[in-house]
Chain A
């Protein structure tokens, strides 16, 4: 199985997007998904034990080499320009979409109490959110959801990794009082 691990490591190295176990299994003939998964796990462990400049991260349903925290200031210097950032309006809009998807623009505006057109446009342009369909009500309004890119940018394995909304439980309890 040593060869398998070598090939997988190379594939992960050349890929510019997170590679899923399924995708790797498709590329490699006659290998079971569990063998691929086991080899990937070994690689993840090796890189994490090594504590080097890169590690193998599980993100957006796949695996991808990512840099170590400690190197960040120097990478930013090397790359030039400012680090990526999102405005408060964009973050709040994104949070509503992430937790409430599929969600209508009007629902987001209901929560935030402001017009979200500009924030939504920015998120669409950054490919963090997308149109996921239309609601089956008069006017068939457009529903929004998050993208795979969202998981990549926010370093999430999948949506279930998002923490539960803190105040929501409190909210529900409050409602039962009424």
Chain B
């Protein structure tokens, strides 16, 4: 560590405009390393920490939303700094790992992907640098002449309301022995779709008369549609809604799992 002068506080003013262009704490740190022409394998932690914190202060003074991740890295930097100050016990034999090692590894990894992102963006991109005669339609597996149309969220909500009113009278009170989570229900539906390929909306809801279960199933379905994993189709308004798996799930162990009824 050398006692390089800290261009921090006054320098920060010049860079205010850049604050919002950082992709995150690692990006900011990489920027500081590059700006100071520092060897990434030998980061002067004290100086970098001060500059980093000066940036955070500037962000705060501008009332920028300071993501928690920035503070986490600040804490990490301070921790490394304090470890660097501790005397190294040479006599203990085994070389202690440089306290900066993990951070360096993370920075190099992030830098590699940042460059990969740049490489991707430098390629000839469709609809920016080159074009095709006709844009591919999203529903490729849809054979144009079938009257089947994709169901949107609003129709699903309507269908959901119908189910709720249809089954409304029969709602049973039951003691909740198992607590269900949304992600668990998402998993179950995925398994079911993976096995059966297609389900009607009613089949999906099954014999559920528990309002909570119906709501969970519905929310899970919306989640799957949002993730573009499941798609819903129907022939005409108020017709049966069918749910399809939009992608083939890979991984063979999934099938066994589905049979055992996770």
Contact = CB atoms under 8 A, between A and B. Distances in A.
A associates with B: yes
Interface of A: 13, 16-17, 57, 64-69, 72, 75, 79, 83-86, 88-89, 91-92, 94-96, 98-99, 102, 111-115, 121, 124-125, 127, 130-134, 136, 139-140, 142, 149, 152-156, 162-163, 165-168, 170-171, 174-175, 178
A16 B117 contact: no
B131 interface: yes
Contacts of B116: 95, 98-99, 162-163, 165-166
Contacts of A64: 132
Contacts of B113: 92, 95-96, 99, 111-112, 165
A114 B132 contact: no
A153 B126 contact: yes
Interface string B100-117: 010011101111111111
A17 B136 contact: yes
Given A95-B120, A114-B25, 11 more contacts: A67-B130, A69-B129, A92-B117, A112-B110, A112-B113, A114-B24, A124-B227, A131-B227, A133-B254, A152-B126, A166-B116
A92 B114 contact: yes
B97 A133 contact: no
Nearest to A144: B227
A152 B119 contact: no
Residue in B73, B130, B138, B250 with the greatest tally of chain A CB atoms within 10 Å: B130
Given A16-B137, A112-B24, A178-B101, A83 B124 contact: no
B249 A113 contact: no
Contacts of A83: 127-129
A46 B22 CA distance: 47
A136 B112 CA distance: 28
A163 B117 CA distance: 11
Given A85-B128, A165-B112, A133 B117 contact: no
B132 A113 contact: no
Given A65-B132, A132-B247, A178-B97, A167 B115 contact: yes
Contact of A91 (B121, B140, B250): B121
B126 A167 contact: no
